[in-house]
């Protein structure tokens, strides 16, 4: 599966951005797709994910209430709406996907995924 992200950029603290991840195809048996980020000086961390079969969503504690993940099955596209951004949200955001749907929130802790996008830079200025 090929993943292509878009939507990153520079925004002031308190601002909003929407990231998009377009996938070439998805497993008919269900998949989990989401976003991870690599922030300066920090380990890569899972931000949010969504399960294709039932739309269940999961979020890292650091972004709960501020980020919303959604998907458009007709377009094979996943979105990450980010609001109330803070400088700590700065980093390279990667879309990632796996051809299974039974790991729940543990997906956010996974360091390896089946498919990765190229990454998109998000910079939040103070």
Of 60, 69, 66, the residue nearest 19 (C-alpha):
69
Joined tokens for residue 13:
């603290």
Of 56, 57, 52, 1, the residue nearest 30 (C-alpha):
52
Structure confidence by residue, pLDDT tens digits, 40-89: 899 999 999 999 989 999 999 999 999 999 999 888 999 999 999 999 99
Residue 110, exposed/middle/buried by CB under 10 A (0-12, 13-18, 19+)? middle
Distance CA 57, CA 96 (A): 14
**Lowest pLDDT segment from 15-19, 29-33, 57-61, 90-94:** 29-33
Q: How many CA atoms lie within 13 A of 14 on its CB side?
A: 1
pLDDT at 30: 85
pLDDT at 107 over 70: yes
Torsion angle, alpha carbons of 70, 73, 78, 79, to 10: -50
Q: In this prediction, what percent of the chain has a pLDDT beyond 70?
A: 98
């Amino acid at each position: 599966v090929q993943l292509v992200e878009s939507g990153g950029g520079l925004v002031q603290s308190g601002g909003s951005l929407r990231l998009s991840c377009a996938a070439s195809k998805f497993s008919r048996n269900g998949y989990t797709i989401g976003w991870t980020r690599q922030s300066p000086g920090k380990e890569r961390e899972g931000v949010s994910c969504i399960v294709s079969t039932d739309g269940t969503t999961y979020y890292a504690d650091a972004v709960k209430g501020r980020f919303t993940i959604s998907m458009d099955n007709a377009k094979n596209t996943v979105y990450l709406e980010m609001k109330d951004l803070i400088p700590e949200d700065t980093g390279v955001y990667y879309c990632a996907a796996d051809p299974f749907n039974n790991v729940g929130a543990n997906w956010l802790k996974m360091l390896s995924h089946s498919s990765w996008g190229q990454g998109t830079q998000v910079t939040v200025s103070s």
